[in-house]
Structure formats: structure tokens, C-alpha cells
Structure 1
Amino acid sequence: MFTGLIQGLGKIHPLGKDRLQITCQTATSGLIVPDLQLGDSVAVDGVCLTVTEILPQGFIAVVSPETRDRSTLSHPELGYVNLETSLRVGSKLGGHFVTGHVDGIGYLESSTQTATSWEMTFTTPTPQVARYILPKGSIAVNGISLTVADCNASGSWFKVAVIPHTYQETNLQYLQPGSPVNLEGDILGKYVEKFLRLGSGQSESAHLPTTLEELTPAFLAEHGYL
């Protein structure tokens, strides 16, 4: 489990088909490497990878075919990657719950600097990603916890506002229009959707709401939410 608060940047060096060497920047290395142990989880551009070997300035991890197919780790042009070690019990949760299980790939459409932030828009052709994108909801972009400022009805297009600190400390600064990014929807939304979907197949007496109109205060009170 991660928070989406990036600790630093690194570079990826493929070692054959299923192994990656991640080399941390000098400043990042001091934050990540000293506490690493074999078997630890590290989010690499939002992808949860397991440490199989620790290096003086980085680590080696194994990547499964499923992970390569669903994420940007299979893209040879990948530059800097965002790094975050797993959440420790008792640590501050400053972002949102990020599992490191990427739903799919999106693409940067535009990036515009404003007086207070960078407004970045993304698109995704993958329905499994778009279905969890909604206004003011949480989204992890390359492992970065961000809030959706605006989106279309399907969720295939969305906008985020990125503060200067996040922009400068992550690989968002290196993205160009068309650059691929890893996207992970909010895990809470996924569970809510699953419960509603299961409920819709039950008997009339056990019916659960499948639309916002059906999710009334009376229903919530009956089921112990108020």
C-alpha cells in the first residue's frame, strides 16, 4: 500500500525480459535505499514491484508479463520514474490509498502553466480506467496522488491541477503531449462498484441501489450509514 506522495526519481535499466534495475538519483538514494530489505515493495511510476536485490544506489525487481502489458514499464523510451516505498504502519497518509496495481495506461493531452499551478489534461482509451474517474475523485498518475478537477461523462478525458512542488519533484515535468502514463483509480470506488453490481443480481427484497438517485438517505439509514 502506498500514499501517492513521491519520494524521488530514478532511472530504469532493463535486464532481460523480466528484470529491471532501478537506479535512484543521488538525493533519492538516501531516502529509499537505506531502509530497503529484500522482498520490500516499491512503487515505480505507480507500479508495485518487489525488491529482489539491493544495490548501492538502487535495486533490482522482477516484472511479470501482466505488469508489462498493463503499464508503461514496457515502453523503451521511459525516462525518469517516480519512486515511493510502501506505507509504514503509523505513517502519515497525506495522499490517498494507492495499491500499485495499475488499471491501465493514459496519455498526456496538454500541460499549461498558470499563476498557481500546472493544469494537465489526460485521456485514456481504456474503459477499466475511465469508469473510476469522476470530478473531485482521487486518481494516481504515474503513482502521484492527484484530484480530478474536471472530466467528461465517460471519464476518458480528465484534468488535474498540479502544484509547483509536485510538478518539480516528479516526472510530470518531463512529459510531452502523447506521453504515456500509468493510471490507477481509487480503490474505494472499485469496492463500491463491486458491491452494487453484486446487489443488482439479488432478489427484489435484497435490492441494492445501482444509481445515485436510488442511493437515498433512507437507504443509508436503513443499512447503518447514518
Structure 2
Amino acid sequence: MFTGIIEEVGEISRIESEGGNMHFTIKATMTPELKIDQSVAHNGICLTVVSLSEIQYVVTAVAETLKKTNLSSLEKGGLVNLERGMKLGDRLDGHIVQGHVDQTAICKNIEEKDGSWVFTFEYNPNMQNITIEKGSITVNGVSLTVINSKKNKFSVAIIPYTYNHTTFKYLREGDVVNLEFDVIGKYVKRIQELK
């Protein structure tokens, strides 16, 4: 389980394909604190550390993960938001994040607003995911609050700290991002469907 509070931005130093899988080597300052078998969220995707050295580690994504996320579009030298699993007893500063991406979205607009930024994303509504005004959403692993909630579109306001300490400062219109919708909202929606 994660919180959506990004610890650092890692750099992809190598990508290898093996059958339907892809192995990503990530360079990150947190590497010495990691261990094999540990879960780390990469742009909101929970992946397991399979090997490590002093300054970098390797994770593997299977075909199903590659199909549902933006991982397959990443390139060597690309940057990813990183977060280790939450420790029991820690503060939940973001919201409950599982590291299971529901679908991707496209960045449709970026607007600077007097020291902050508003990013607007559009997603396929056929997957039945929803946002609500002032509800939680995870975009590339970052816990955010929804504004301007529509059927297949929403915006988020990004403060300077988040902008400078995540990959948001590198996002451009047309870029694909990972979305994890609020887990509580997903359960409520499912309960309503069963009635």
C-alpha cells in the first residue's frame, strides 16, 4: 500500500525486453535502502525489486501491466515518480493508494496560474471509472485532489513543491499518464451497481 506522496524522481538507465516482459533499471538515491522483493511504486505502478546494485535496481513489468499503463512508452533517460510502500503506523499524508493502475489518460491542457499550475486530463469513460469534485485521484503515482470533475475529464491544481519534486514539471500536452481512481469510491460504485 502507498500514499501517493512521492519520495524522489528516478531515472531509467536501461530497458530490456524478455518475451512479453520488460525489465527496467532505475537509478535512484533510495537504492541502498531497498531490498530484493520490496514493492516500489513507479509512476503509480507497484513493481517488485528483482535485483540491485549500489546506485540502481531492476524491476520487471509483465505484459498485462505494460498494456494498462504508460510504462511501455518510457525510454532510457526517462524519469519516474518513486514511492516505497507505506510503513504500518506512518501518517497517511496522501490517500490510500494500491499501486494498481486503473487506466491511462492524456494530458489535454496545462495552465500556469500565478505560481501554481492546473493540469487537465481526459480518459476513456467506457471503463466506468469516475471522479468526484474534491475527491482523490492518483496521477503517475501522485496523490491529488480533483477539481472540475466531468464524465471523462478532470483537472488537478499543482503547488510549486509538487511541481518541482515530481515529474509534473516535465509533463506536456499529449503525454500519457497513469490513473488510479480512489479505492473507496470504486467500492461504493460497485455496491451501487449490485443493488
Question: TM-score scaled to structure 2, two decimals?
Answer: 0.92
Residues 85 and 74 (structure 1), Cα distance of their counterparts in 2 relative to 1, 3 Å cut: same
Structure 1 residue 194: deviation in Å? 2.0
Per-residue CA shift, 1:141-171, capped at 9, x if unaligned? Answer: 000000001122x1x1111101100001000
- Alignment partner, residue 84 of structure 1: 83
Q: Give yes or no for contact 1:105–1:126 (8 Å, CA) kept in 2.
A: no
- Number of aligned residues: 190
Residue 11 (structure 1) aligns with: 11
Q: Which residue of 1 aligns with 2:27?
A: 23
| 2:33 matched residue in structure 1 | 35
Gaps of 5+ in 2: none
Note if contact 2:32-2:55 (Cα within 8 Å) is conserved in structure 1. Answer: no
* Larger strand proportion of the pair: 2
**How many angstroms does 1:125 deviate by?**
2.0
Q: Percent identity?
A: 38
Determine the C-alpha separation between the residues in 2 that align with 1:110 and 1:98: 25
Unpaired segments of 5 or more residues in structure 1? Answer: 201-226
Name the structure 2 match of 1:172.
Answer: 168
Comparing 83-92 and 186-195, the one that deviates more: 186-195
The structure 2 residue matched to 1:181, chosen from 139, 152, 177, is 177
Name 1:158's counterpart in structure 2. 154
Choose 116-125 or 88-97, whichever is displaced more: 116-125
Counting helix residues as a fraction of each chain, which structure ranks higher?
1
In 2: Cα distance, 1:157 partner to 1:10 partner: 28
CA shift for structure 1 position 116: 4.1
Q: Aligned residue for 1:127?
A: 126
SS of 1:151 mapped into structure 2: coil
Among residues 28, 51, 54, which one is paired with 2:52 in the alignment?
54
3-state SS of paired residue (1:83): strand
The alpha-carbon deviation at position 196 of structure 1 amounts to: 2.2
Displacement of 1:77 in angstroms is: 4.4
**CA deviation profile, 1:91-115 (whole Å, cap 9, x unmatched):** 1110001111001110111111112
* Secondary structure at 2:148 match in 1: strand
TM-score, structure 1 as length reference: 0.80
Structure 1: which 4+ aligned runs deviate by more than 6 Å?
Answer: none
**If you compute each CA radius of gyration, which structure gives the higher value, 1 or 2?**
1
Q: Distance in 2 between matches of 1:195 and 1:65?
A: 30
Judging changes above 3 Å, is the alpha-carbon distance between structure 1 residues 161 and 83 closer, same or farther for their aligned structure 2 residues? same
* Counterpart residue number, 2:139: 141
